[in-house]
Amino acid sequence: MEKKNTWETYSDKQLKEVDVFADEYRSFLDEGKTERECVDYIVNAAEKEGYRELQKVIKKGEKLKKGDKVYAVCMNKSVVLFRIGERPMAEGMNILGAHIDSPRLDVKQNPLYEEGGFAYLDTHYYGGVKKYQWVTIPLALHGVIVKKDGTVVEINIGENEDDPVFFISDLLIHLAQEQLEKKASKVIEGEALDIIIGNKPITFGKEKAAEKEDKHGEETEGKKKDKKDKKNKNQAKEAVKKGILDILKKTYGVEEEDFLSAELEVVPAGKAREAGLDRSMILAYGQDDRVCAFSSLKAMLEVEESKRTACCLLVDKEEIGSVGATGMQSKFFENMVAEVMNLTGEYSELNVRRCLSSSCMLSSDVSSAFDPAFASSFDKKNVAFLGGGMVFNKFTGSRGKSGSNDANAEYLAHIRHIFEEEKINFQTAELGRVDLGGGGTIAYILALYGMNVIDSGVAVLNMHAPWEATSKADVYETKRGYIAFLKGADL
């Protein structure tokens, strides 16, 4: 089956809209390199469009009616938006779901140490990464440090032009004969992914040293010399680390122990960029899966009316199995659905179950794009192409479909009908050749409720690398597809 390249389907007006949308998307990527930063962006965007915080509505004892818009946040890392539709929620919702976490390096709880004249932060990689891709590139530090008194110190170092950046060293090629014989998975070990954050020892003022000597004027010159030598030796011990701690204290007001209650993420430094002489692509960190999160958010904010309640769910922890309080496996989403139904006057345990089982969902996640340089890893008849439009994966999983949600044919036919009516360019794909493995999404978790779910999203080149590539046209077309779904899905 031949499909048109998405660029060929656009009018001049749409081509301009693609660039405007891509610029806004790149700004989102720059502002949201962590889950917390994404949630801040999403909440600000939602409130500008009239969304209200669900907990405030509950406290005021208000009711929700058709057209009302609310959102709820879980631990500053997951967020869900609802727009109340014409029909009862018990008849189901139309849900867009994506994740906002991305592969990265997390700073450990006791991270700061000195070795060989360098100050390091010890890290633990998060999600599926090729560890060797993270060495020798500029890195930034994002996150929060929470002090014992509850004060939250926000950290964002490495993104501004005058900021310092950090890096992980690699062995010079002249001495790398043994290293180059190792498997790619062993070239750089996980424990070697520690970032260098300093090299200058702390300096001690001569005035203080002179004061100390004056106090011991009655002592012999020999004793004074011995004490001075001992003092200098103690000062020299871990002097680079002490210098870093001094900077942290003066700049942020934090102590070494405050790392115990910190959440710091190491990410590639630098802004999202247009790629290609034709500026047709976007090269940036974290597009898996912030490309689908942003497209879902924009679709949710643009849809003004829908028969069914529209929902946009953007969650954390997908890269490590959707676990934890902020992952899809938590009860956050289900609890918020119950709260909203209570405010619409529909709540009962049975109605919540009816709502979830009658809903339609697009599990919005990225798909692997065909890479001609590694063509043998793909089934060319069943692979997504950059520029091919929005992607549908009927199933994911690995090898024998392990861990997969497999959408039924009736639902896929329903989606096809909606998209063809709205002239949405789409393609279908699998994640690589059958026996090479595959990936998972949040789809199988929502499918547990009995709702119709299918994976959909944007094709990504270099998936899970520090810098990933997407087509501007695919990102824009995916937003159009999400709008069509929110308006028209009703199975």
Please tell me whether residue 264 adopts helix, strand or coil conformation.
Answer: strand
Pairing verdict, β 118-126 and 104-115? antiparallel
Q: Compare 443 and 79 and report the one with higher pLDDT.
A: 79
Cα dist. 406→99, 383, 397, 398, 447 in Å?
19, 17, 9, 12, 9
Cα dist. 403→120, 147, 315, 330, 397 in Å?
38, 40, 19, 18, 5
Residues 439 and 479 in one domain: yes
What single string gives the DSSP state of each residue in 72-126?
Answer: EEETTTEEEEEE--SS-GGG-EEEEEEE----EEEEEEEEEEEETTEEEEEEEEE
Burial state string for 20-30 with b = 16 or more CB within 10 A and e = fewer than 16: ebbeebbebbb
Q: pLDDT grade, residue 4 (50/70/90)?
A: confident
Q: Which residues, 6 or more positions from 58, have their beta carbon under 8 angstroms from its beta carbon?
A: 339, 343
Dig out the tokens for 28 from the structure: 């989102």
Predicted local distance difference test score (pLDDT) of residue 209: 47
**What percentage of the chain has pLDDT greater than the value 70?**
90
Q: Lowest mean pLDDT: which of 18-22, 73-77, 365-369? A: 365-369
* Residues 206, 101: Cα–Cα separation, whole Å: 49
Residues 349 and 435 in one domain: yes
CA 65 to chain centre: 33
* pLDDT at position 235 over 50: yes
Cα dist. 342→310, 322, 336, 346, 389 in Å?
17, 27, 10, 6, 39
Overall average pLDDT of the 62-90 stretch: 97
Overall average pLDDT of the 245-260 stretch: 97
Assess if residue 217 is contained within a domain. no
Residue-wise pLDDT for 401-438, tens only, equals 666 777 889 999 999 999 999 999 999 988 766 666 66
Short-list 273, 202, 266, CA closest to 27: 273
In this structure, what DSSP letter does residue 466 have? Answer: S
* Residues 104, 128: Cα–Cα separation, whole Å: 9
First to last CA, the chain: 27
Overall average pLDDT of the 344-371 stretch: 96
Residues 150 and 47 in one domain: no
Residues 456 and 422 in one domain: yes
Q: Which helix (H) or strand (E) holds 12?
A: helix 12-31
Predicted local distance difference test score (pLDDT) of residue 399: 64
Predicted local distance difference test score (pLDDT) of residue 379: 87
Predicted local distance difference test score (pLDDT) of residue 228: 57
Q: pLDDT grade, residue 207 (50/70/90)?
A: very low
Assess if residue 366 is contained within a domain. yes
* pLDDT at position 307 over 70: yes
Short-list 345, 363, 361, 366, CA closest to 290: 366
Assess if residue 215 is contained within a domain. no
Residues 29 and 134 in one domain: no
Predicted local distance difference test score (pLDDT) of residue 182: 96
* pLDDT at position 213 over 60: no
* Residues 395, 298: Cα–Cα separation, whole Å: 26
Residues 95 and 114 in one domain: no
Q: Residue 125 belongs to what domain range? A: 104-203+236-268
Predicted local distance difference test score (pLDDT) of residue 210: 44
Task: Share the mean pLDDT of the chain.
Answer: 92
Predicted local distance difference test score (pLDDT) of residue 393: 86
Q: Compare 467 and 211 and report the one with higher pLDDT.
A: 467
Q: pLDDT grade, residue 224 (50/70/90)?
A: low
Overall average pLDDT of the 377-381 stretch: 88
The 10 Å Cβ neighbour count of residue 133 is: 17
Short-list 282, 304, 421, 309, CA closest to 64: 309
Q: For residue 459, give the CATH number of its domain.
A: 3.40.630.10
Burial state string for 88-99 with b = 16 or more CB within 10 A and e = fewer than 16: bbbbbbbbbbbb
Assess if residue 210 is contained within a domain. no
Residue-wise pLDDT for 30-57, tens only, equals 999 999 999 999 999 999 999 999 999 9
Short-list 114, 358, 354, 395, CA closest to 236: 114
User: Is the distance from CB of 427 to CB of 389 less than 8 angstroms?
Assistant: yes
Residues 331 and 419 in one domain: yes
Assess if residue 227 is contained within a domain. no
Residues 312 and 368 in one domain: yes
* Residues 482, 487: Cα–Cα separation, whole Å: 9
* pLDDT at position 293 over 50: yes
Overall average pLDDT of the 87-109 stretch: 97
When divided into structural domains, the chain yields a total of: 2
Predicted local distance difference test score (pLDDT) of residue 305: 84
Predicted local distance difference test score (pLDDT) of residue 395: 75
Predicted local distance difference test score (pLDDT) of residue 220: 60
Residues 264 and 321 in one domain: no
* pLDDT at position 351 over 80: yes
Pairing verdict, β 93-99 and 262-268? unpaired
Q: Which helix (H) or strand (E) holds 34?
A: none
* pLDDT at position 1 over 80: no
Residues 307 and 165 in one domain: no
* Residues 487, 491: Cα–Cα separation, whole Å: 12
**Burial label, 376 (beta-carbon count in 10 A; 0-12, 13-18, 19+):** exposed
Overall average pLDDT of the 140-144 stretch: 98
**Long-range contacts made by residues 407-415, C-beta under 8 angstroms, separation at least 24?**
407/452, 407/453, 407/454, 407/455, 408/452, 410/491, 411/360, 411/452, 411/454, 411/491, 412/454, 414/360, 414/452, 414/489, 414/491, 415/454, 415/485, 415/489
Predicted local distance difference test score (pLDDT) of residue 491: 76
Q: Compare 274 and 232 and report the one with higher pLDDT.
A: 274
Q: For residue 187, give the CATH number of its domain.
A: 2.30.250.10
* pLDDT at position 348 over 60: yes
Residues 110 and 165 in one domain: yes
Pairing verdict, β 360-364 and 452-457? parallel
Measured in degrees and rounded to the nearest 5, phi and psi for residue 361 equal -135, 145
Residues 36 and 149 in one domain: no
Q: Is the dihedral of CA 393, 287, 23, 312 positive or negative?
A: positive
Assess if residue 136 is contained within a domain. yes
Assess if residue 178 is contained within a domain. yes
Dig out the tokens for 19 from the structure: 């660039």
